[in-house]
Amino acid sequence: GAVVSQHPSWVICKSGTSVKIECRSLDFQATTMFWYRQFPKQSLMLMATSNEGSKATYEQGVEKDKFLINHASLTLSTLTVTSAHPEDSSFYICSAKVDRSRNSPLHFGNGTRLTVT
């Protein structure tokens, strides 16, 4: 089956520093990947849609200058949390679809638990 690899699985950083999270599709090409954020005991909230070779599409309320997304290849998308603050502490999960079909499932990475101290 489709495998989405996300790294790191957890990270602790100091306030004001930046953190990069990688999302890779291991056995398929993903022209589009999706980044979600999940706070404890809450649902997954879409942050942005990452498009290979073009700018990401951000959801309303998500700061594009704070959450930098780069999708430089068909198998890799990165999310950089810049100038992280404690309120950015959350579970970040990427996902991708195997095919472009409108009705195909998302495959999720393992997620990255970010703690900002």
Partner 1 sequence: GENVEQHPSTLSVQEGDSAVIKCTYSDSASNYFPWYKQELGKRPQLIIDIRSNVGEKKDQRIAVTLNKTAKHFSLHITETQPEDSAVYFCAASMGYESHSGYSTLTFGKGTMLLVSP
Applying CB under 8 A, which residues contact partner 1?
31-32, 34, 41-46, 49, 51, 54, 57, 93, 97, 100, 102-103, 105-111, 113
Q: Give 8 or 105: the residue with its C-beta nearer to partner 1.
A: 105
CB of 41 to partner 1, least distance (A): 8
- Calpha distance 59→86 (Å, rounded): 21
Closest CB to partner 1 among 82 and 107? 107
| Residue closer to partner 1, measured from CB, 19 or 23 | 23
Going by the DSSP 8-state scheme, the letter that residue 26 receives in this structure is S
Residue with tokens 């942005």: 48
Contact by Cβ (8 Å): 47, 58: yes
Quote the CA–CA distance of 26 and 78 in Å, as a whole number: 14
Nearer to partner 1, 82 or 108 (CB): 108
Q: How far is the CB of 21 from partner 1 (least distance, A)?
A: 14
Min dist CB 38 to partner 1, Å, is 9
Which residues neighbour 20 within 8 Å (Cβ) at sequence distance 6 or greater? Answer: 78, 79, 80
d(CA 38, CA 101): 25
Q: How far is the CB of 83 from partner 1 (least distance, A)?
A: 27
